[in-house]
Amino acid sequence: MKNLIRIPLIMAISVLCCRSGRAQEFYRGEMFVTGQQFSLADGRLNIDLSVDFEDLRMPSDESLTVTPVLISGENEQALPAVLINGTEKQKVYQRQQEFTGNGHPSPIPAVVIKNDARMARSFRYRVAVPYQEWMKDALLLIRSQECACHGRQGSIYEDKIADRLNLPKVRTSVWDTDTDRKYLTWVNFIEPAPDKDTLHAVTGSIPYFGKEQRDKRERPLGELSVTKQNFEIYHRMRNALQDIRREAGTKLMKVKITGYGAPVGNLQKNEVDALVRSLKLKDYLRENRLTAGTPLEVTWISEDWDSIAALVKQSDMMFREATLDLIGNVDIDKGRERMLMHLADGKPYKYLAEKIFPEVMRVDYRIEYTRQPLDAAESLRLFRTGERRALRLNEFFTVAGSYPQGSTEYNDVLDLAARLFPDSPEANINAAAVALTKGETAKARRYLERFATLPMAYNNMGILCLQEGNRDKAEVYLTMAAAAGVKQADKALKELKR
């Protein structure tokens, strides 16, 4: 359960609203705002921020004060602060509060959060302040102040989160002049089954001897010490996890990392080294709070013969079949590697050592997470900010439902959904319904033809046949649709039988 900060407790329903679509990093890149919303209602400016601090690296005996600030020209207003305490610092803070509660008042922040790796390290910040005209063009920054602990002065960081609030006017939907209101009452739109909080996975691989690096400054893992390898793996994993955490509605379930080695040297020593290697990597990732409470599994396979065999099959190496025969029929502990070394004067083994073994050595990862269906406001925000591919089909229909049927926006959303989800019957049937209301029969047929045998498509197929002039076929489809309980089919049938 994420922390929820609501200041004050009662807030009016938003009338005007705008949201930013990109996460904004602050405080040395260790924290970021994953969602932001500004709204105006009843003379008050409402600010809603989602903050993630999974990557905050702060000693347990220190604290950090986070203060959102509105600035426009000479005008500046600091909002209520959030104090994040390390676990030890929190104990000290609680003792101080008990002491000051006995007649020694002292100023305290509006909210105090404990930086505990066992808890979800994110919170929702909501605050309402009296609105002033200058706030419309204000920028929002976050001022992060470290505690003056251990005899040193705490540093202060300022990071811009939003350039301008730019509260927009209420947007009104424009009626699509091409829409025929009669046909709009005849076609039917299909609602897909509700989305479930399903499990998703992101996978990746970090090679030891990659031919190409994303950044020329990055060196292959095989050229680094174990300590630097751990850091590089942590850095790559951190980036992958951030991408997932920044997607609205996600919850990490499990992170699995598997290292793969090659048969170089003594088998028994390789297995011991693999065990030690996996333990060191797991300890390093835990110490640096990579997953912050999410289950982390780290294993190491000392000699990845399965991958070696697969790569040999794909190669054009000499004595390929003989090599595969030895790999498949001689156990590792029965002299497999030794026999490969003696095969054909060692030429196949030399090829393996130079071409195959380096390619096998790698670190694979799998990140499992769930994504809850987004609400109407978040779906609309992602759609408007261009992040449409992050939306599921249900969420496209939610966005469409925020506009009147027949409006330009409604039609455009459903047409786009069919193009992004070409195999979805619901998306295609709804896009066909839009085309039918505009008299675009050829386009409607392209959408409907593949799904003509589905009962959910009967009504719109009947309307399509009617527009094409095939009244007999239209009556068949509409009659079947009416029998299935589609009310629009009854209206079309009455018109057809006049």
Indicate the range of 141-155, 250-264, 405-419 predicted with least confidence. 141-155
Task: Let me know: does 78 contact 69? Beta carbons within 8 Å.
Answer: yes
The C-alpha atoms of residue 426 and residue 213 are separated, in whole angstroms, by 43
Cβ neighbours for 256, distance < 8 A, ≥ 6 positions apart: 296, 297, 298, 299, 365, 366, 367, 368
197 pLDDT band, cuts 50/70/90, is low
Of the candidates 289, 292, 369, 288, which has an alpha carbon nearest to the alpha carbon of residue 122?
A: 292
Q: Which residues contact 494 (CB under 8 A, 6 or more apart)?
A: none
CA distance 498 to 478: 15
Residue 269 corresponds to which tokens in the numbers above?
């020593």
Nearest-angstrom CA–CA distance, 238 and 32: 13
Phi, psi of 133 (to 5 degrees): -60, -35
d(CA 39, CA 383): 18
- pLDDT at position 109: 57
Tell me how far apart the alpha carbons of residues 236 and 279 are, in angstroms, rounded to a whole number.
19
CA distances from 456 to 11, 191, 475, 489 (A): 42, 10, 16, 12
**What confidence tier does 280 reach under pLDDT thresholds 50, 70, 90?**
very high
More confident residue, 402 or 329: 329
SS (H, E, C) 343-391: HHHHHHHHHHHHHHHHHHCEEEEEEEEEECCCCHHHHHHHHHCCCHHHC
Please say if the pLDDT value at position 201 is more than 80: yes
pLDDT of residue 214: 44
The confidence score (pLDDT) of residue 102 equals 47
Q: Average pLDDT of the chain?
A: 83
Average pLDDT over residues 346-354: 93
Identify the pLDDT of residue 143: 94
Residue 322 has pLDDT above 90, yes or no: yes
Q: Which of 10-19, 114-123, 304-313, 451-460 bottoms out in mean pLDDT, i.e. has the lowest?
A: 10-19
Confidence bin at 442 (pLDDT 50/70/90): very high
Q: Which residue has the higher pLDDT, 478 or 119?
A: 478
The span from the CA of 159 to the CA of 243, in Å, is 20
**Is 491 in contact with 185 (CB distance < 8 Å)?**
yes
Cα→Cα distances 253→291, 306, 475, Å: 10, 28, 52
Compute the average pLDDT of residues 103-132. 67
Which pLDDT score is estimated for 140?
92
- What mean pLDDT is predicted for residues 461-479? 93
Q: Which residue has the higher pLDDT, 11 or 130?
A: 130
Amino acid residing at 284: Y
For residue 178, the model assigns a pLDDT of 83
Domains of the chain from N-terminus onward: 3-162 (2.60.40), 181-195+373-496 (1.25.40.10), 199-370 (3.30.1330.60)
Q: Encoding tokens for residue 89?
A: 């610092």
Mind listing the pLDDT tens digit for each residue in 123-178?
Answer: 888 888 888 888 888 999 999 999 888 777 788 999 988 887 766 554 556 677 88
Q: Residue 272 has what pLDDT?
A: 92
With cut-offs at 50, 70 and 90, classify the pLDDT of residue 476. very high
Question: Which residue has 């029929």 as its token pair?
Answer: 329
Which contacts qualify for 262-269: CB closer than 8 Å, 24 or more apart? 262/303, 262/304, 262/308, 262/356, 262/357, 262/358, 262/360, 262/361, 263/303, 263/305, 263/308, 263/332, 263/337, 263/357, 264/353, 264/357, 267/302, 267/303, 267/332, 267/333, 267/337
The amino acid sitting at 467 is Q
Percentage of the residues of the chain whose pLDDT score is greater than 70 = 85
| Residue 110 predicted with pLDDT over 70 | no
Which backbone phi and psi does 156 adopt, to 5 degrees?
A: -120, 130
Residues 220-239: b if buried by 16+ CB within 10 A, e if exposed: bbeebeeeebbebbbebbbe
pLDDT at 93: 80
Omega before 8 within 30 of 0, i.e. cis: yes
Averaged over 311-317, what is the pLDDT?
94
Higher pLDDT, 380 or 430: 430
pLDDT at 104 over 50: no
- Which among 222, 264, 233 is positioned nearest to 357, based on CA atoms? 264
Residue with structure tokens 């999974």?
A: 54
pLDDT-based confidence at residue 114 (cuts at 50, 70, 90): low
Residue 101 contacts by C-beta under 8 Å, 6 or more apart in sequence?
Answer: none
Whether residue 119 is predicted with pLDDT greater than 60 in this model: the reply is yes
Biggest alpha carbon distance in the chain? 92
Q: Which residue has the higher pLDDT, 8 or 263?
A: 263
